[in-house]
């Protein structure tokens, strides 16, 4: 299903394609590590929530204890907090949602539950009108394709050699504007083994829409004898005719750490 977002007098439609292959069985403890991948896509449930736009989450968790529910739990915590105060700015709501997730993981750590630490790969994106907010933890991949150029957003979010810390699971945020015909890929770590960065650029450049891109990635995945668990979410922005009435989104202000400007990444 495509999600429609309103910004000023423009309607922005976000199309999506999902690819998911996940091993492991939730709820069954095992002496061997299990890996599960998930994709969660949330839209406003009423007109009051509409300024907050859509929320997209892609995640992977590997563990040996019965903590494979953590993907679902974190996604639900983030979603509930993000949409809990519709009158709040989207940027502040995103910040609050990340803090809620950080707080829960910190509580788990205090209780001695650290099985998930360093084994969780999580990426969260919100698109409110033309505003994009993106945060991640672990080693997932976020790539933006715009006007023939690709930008690896993940490199700006997670500093090299950063050690996992349950107190600030999410620490950095990329902020910017979505433009018409932008395409994004949000994926779990196996994507880096499945296709090289150069190969990914070629796939974006030679395919007109995300349905074609998804077909190509699926084809590559089918060629693997024993593919590792993977989750890939493809997003594509398209603008529609203007509305008669305007509604304005407030400017974002504060964030966990100073935001990383998307324009600087794309230079």
pTM (2 decimals)? 0.81
Contacts of 247 (CB under 8 A, 6+ apart): 6, 8, 51
- pLDDT-flagged residues of the chain (< 70): 1-11, 23-33, 64-68, 114, 157-167, 240-260, 263-267
How would DSSP label each residue in 25-66?
-TT---SS-EEEEEEEEE--SSGGGGGG-EEEEEEEEEESSS
115-161 pLDDT per residue, tens: 777 788 999 999 999 999 999 988 899 999 998 888 988 877 665 55
Show the domains of the chain with their CATH numbers.
3-266 (3.60.40.10)
- Distance CA(121)–CA(117), nearest Å, equals 10
What local confidence, expressed as pLDDT, does residue 236 receive? 95
What local confidence, expressed as pLDDT, does residue 248 receive? 45
Please give the structure tokens belonging to residue 204.
């974006």
> Cβ distance 30 to 247 under 8 Å?
no
What local confidence, expressed as pLDDT, does residue 243 receive? 47
What local confidence, expressed as pLDDT, does residue 25 receive? 52
């Amino acid at each position: 299903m495509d999600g429609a977002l309103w910004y000023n007098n423009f309607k922005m439609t976000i199309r999506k394609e999902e690819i998911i292959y996940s091993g492991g069985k939730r709820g069954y403890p095992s002496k061997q590590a299990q890996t599960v991948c998930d994709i969660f896509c949330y839209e406003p449930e009423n007109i009051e929530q509409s300024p907050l736009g859509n929320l997209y989450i892609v995640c992977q968790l590997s563990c040996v204890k019965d903590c494979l529910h953590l993907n679902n739990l974190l996604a639900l915590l983030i979603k509930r907090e993000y949409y809990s105060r519709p009158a709040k700015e989207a940027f502040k709501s995103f910040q609050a949602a990340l803090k809620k997730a950080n707080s829960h993981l910190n509580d788990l750590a205090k209780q001695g539950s650290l099985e998930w630490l360093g084994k969780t790969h999580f990426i969260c994106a919100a698109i409110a009108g033309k505003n994009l907010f993106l945060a991640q933890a672990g080693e997932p991949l976020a790539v933006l394709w715009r006007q023939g150029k690709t930008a690896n957003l993940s490199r700006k979010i997670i500093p090299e050699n950063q050690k996992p810390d349950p107190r600030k699971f999410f620490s950095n945020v990329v902020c910017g504007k979505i433009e018409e015909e932008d395409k994004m890929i949000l994926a779990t770590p196996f994507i880096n083994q499945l296709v090289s960065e150069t190969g990914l650029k070629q796939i974006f450049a030679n395919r007109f829409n995300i349905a074609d891109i998804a077909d190509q990635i699926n084809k590559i995945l089918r060629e693997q004898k024993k593919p590792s668990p993977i989750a890939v979410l493809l997003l594509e922005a398209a603008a529609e005719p203007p509305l008669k009435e305007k509604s304005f989104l407030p400017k974002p202000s504060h964030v966990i750490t100073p935001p990383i400007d998307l324009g600087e990444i794309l230079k």
